């Protein structure tokens, strides 16, 4: 994803997990999180799940009625706005931006489709929805793809991995 976006990002614009933690901690008030209790890992999982499922922040805010969840959704909206304003990326946003670039820019998508004759994805059971969508765009239209995985070893569900990507592979391709 970094390579796909090489004209838009540099090493310093991608937040490591530690930098992300301090970024949010520094901006608690701006994100509307200064008055509620939360766990950072759960907050980041909430943000990542929304991003990896390509849910627009405002749509998320509009869809939630639970008060605490609404605060989290609003914080996600503000978080994404702040990242955009500062030209920063977290890992999930990096993937989402690459996906959007491939979808909207036919020349870029075609270049990446023609870069590889065959694609091999290891640990496919641990891909998230946006990674699966990126893979589908890159392997199209030839669909020369092989995946390796074991649904009994899926360990990244807490990070948004979707075992369904693996289970539905044969139907997709």
Q: Which long-range contacts (CB under 8 A, 24 or more apart) does 24-33 make?
A: 24/79, 27/79, 27/82, 30/78, 30/82, 31/75, 31/78, 31/79, 31/82, 32/71, 32/74, 32/75, 32/78, 33/71, 33/75
> Taking the model in full, what pTM does it have?
0.88
As a whole number of angstroms, the distance between CA 168 and CA 38 comes to 35
pLDDT in the model for residue 168: 87
Least confident segment among 26-40, 57-71, 124-138, 158-172: 158-172
Which range (9-18, 46-55, 108-117, 160-169) has the least confidence? 160-169
Q: How far apart are CA 33 and CA 16, in angstroms?
A: 21
* Residues in a beta bridge with 145: 119
Cβ contacts of 156 within 8 Å, gap of 6 or more: 126, 128
| pLDDT tens figures, 62-110 | 999 999 899 999 999 999 999 999 999 999 999 999 999 999 999 999 9
């Amino acid at each position: 994803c970094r390579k796909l976006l090489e004209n838009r990002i540099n090493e310093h614009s991608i937040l490591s997990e530690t930098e992300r933690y301090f970024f949010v901690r520094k901006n608690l008030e701006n994100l509307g999180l200064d008055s509620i209790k939360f766990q950072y890992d759960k907050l980041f999982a909430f943000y990542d799940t929304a991003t990896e499922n390509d849910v627009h922040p405002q749509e998320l805010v509009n869809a939630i009625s639970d008060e605490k969840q609404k605060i989290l959704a609003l914080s996600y909206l503000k978080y994404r706005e702040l990242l955009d304003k500062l030209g920063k990326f977290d890992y999930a946003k990096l993937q989402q931006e690459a996906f959007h670039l491939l979808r909207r820019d036919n020349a870029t998508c075609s270049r990446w489709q023609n870069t590889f004759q065959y694609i091999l994805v290891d640990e496919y059971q641990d891909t998230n929805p946006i990674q699966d969508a990126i893979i589908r765009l890159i392997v199209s239209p030839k669909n020369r793809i092989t995946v390796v995985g074991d649904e009994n070893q899926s360990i990244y569900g807490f990070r948004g991995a979707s075992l369904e990507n693996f289970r539905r592979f044969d139907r997709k391709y």
